[in-house]
Structure 1
Amino acid sequence: MTVRYWRTMAGRKAAGAGILPRVVLGAVLSGVVPVMGGIAPQARADAPDASVAPTPTTATGPAVQPAPTAPATPAAAPATAPATAPATPAPAAPSGVATPQATPPAPAPTPATAAPTGPLPSGGPDAPELGEEARAVRLQAAQIGLRAFTAAGFHPGKVRHIVLMRFLPTITDAQRAEVVRRFMALARLSRRDNGQQVIASIETGVQMGGEGVDQGFEQGFIVTFNSEGDRNYYVGKPVVTDPAYFDPAHEAFKKFAAPYIIGVLVFDYALPSHQVQHPRRAAALTRPGMAQQQG
């Protein structure tokens, strides 16, 4: 009895062992039971995906460097590459500051030529400082007025007006002669509006002294007037600036002569009254036995 039972149970176990693999295989094929649920996900995670290209692994050992090769010489430079390195732009000069330019070579020096000094002394800002006498004369003109200052009867008596001239070195003989001629012509051209003559006389001469103190002046003139008023009217500028009260002929001469003259010296003085008295009258006043009037 006991033997049959063990045989029966053994046969059932054998039959069950053969059926179980077939049942499991069919369930797997039908998708009902996953195969080894705990193992399949791990297997799928470890298994490479065929749809993804395999990524080459990097060798852990030292990399092998390729043998160096000589660089190939380019056939031509790219069209966009500049032929030369771009120049650095110069910094802009600040506003108001001139940019230094290249200095051209200096020309060969030429002999200096003396230039005319312009019109004769006119008392401008570049004129020398006035002396005491000149300031006194100008003050007198301002105090009494130009009409009285230039009147023929103002301070009657002989007045000498000395003029010395130094000419331009390049002046010609003809030009110098013309300056002298025009100056001497003032004796008849200088007249007042009523035709009255202003100049009593003029004389001239060339410097001929040997003292060596002539300061380069070459031509001298002595102009004589019968009163200080006549002298004032003749001289005109810079003391008298109103054209109604100075000699237009003398003003025209100064403008003509200015380009030929580089230096002028003027000196005026009045003759004492006893030097201009008539000789016979002076003799009569000093005749013995005649009483002289006091006063």
Structure 2
Amino acid sequence: MSITHIVLLQLKPDVDPAAIQQASMHFLSLKDTCVNPTSKQPYILKISGGSDNSPEGLQDGISHAFVVEFANEADRDYYVKEDPAHQMFKQQVGPLLQKIQVIDFAPELFAKAYSKSLA
């Protein structure tokens, strides 16, 4: 069962734009630098993200969003709790952040529950 991991960031107002660009590129590079400790192979299926450009005005300070896709909960849990590359990234980006929000979901479970509710 795949897991979609969404990360929403509000950066401190005084953060240098170059530091924001560097942090964003570092986040995207985790797809290649996060490796399974047993297989030594990258385990993140896909990462996408970028800076907000919504005209709706509902961002509430959130300026950047990233979506990370994992094949299963075990990979997501390793990434969140243990992966050295991710842990290093969190330490480096932490001082830039005013707020972070994270939500995860399993698309297959949602689709299954939704289809049952329509039956």
Sort the TM-score into its range (normalised by shorter chain). 0.7 to 0.9
Q: Confirm or deny: 8 A CA contact 2:6 2:104 kept in the other structure.
A: yes
1:222-276 CA distance string (max 9 Å, x none): 000000110000011xxxxxxxxx101100000000111111010100011697x
Matching residue of 2:55? 210
* Unaligned segments of structure 1, at least 5 residues: 1-156, 237-245, 276-295
Which of 31, 42, 49 is 1:197 aligned to?
A: 42
Which of 259, 264, 272 is 2:95 aligned to?
A: 259
SS of corresponding position for 1:231: helix
Across the aligned residues of Structure 1 and Structure 2, the Cα RMSD in angstroms comes to 1.6
SS of corresponding position for 1:230: helix
Relative to the length of structure 1, the TM-score reads 0.36
Q: Confirm or deny: 8 A CA contact 1:198 1:234 kept in the other structure.
A: no
Mapped to 1, the partners of 2:51 and 2:86 lie a distance apart of: 21
Matching residue of 1:228? 73
Off by >2 Å, runs of 4+ in structure 1: none
1:207-230 CA distance string (max 9 Å, x none): 112222211100000000000110
Q: Whose Rg is larger?
A: 1
Relative to the length of structure 2, the TM-score reads 0.86
1:76-101 CA distance string (max 9 Å, x none): xxxxxxxxxxxxxxxxxxxxxxxxxx
Which of 6, 14, 19 is 1:175 aligned to?
A: 19
Mapped to 2, the partners of 1:216 and 1:273 lie a distance apart of: 30
Mapped to 2, the partners of 1:174 and 1:254 lie a distance apart of: 18
Does structure 1 residue 163 correspond to structure 2 residue 7?
yes
Matching residue of 1:150? none
Q: Which has the higher strand share?
A: 2
Q: Confirm or deny: 8 A CA contact 2:9 2:99 kept in the other structure.
A: yes
RCO (CA 8 Å, sep 6+): is it higher in 1 or 2? 2
Does structure 1 residue 186 correspond to structure 2 residue 30?
yes
Mapped to 1, the partners of 2:77 and 2:52 lie a distance apart of: 27
User: Compared with structure 1, are the counterparts of its residues 197 and 265 closer, same or farther at alpha carbon in structure 2 (3 Å cutoff)?
Assistant: same
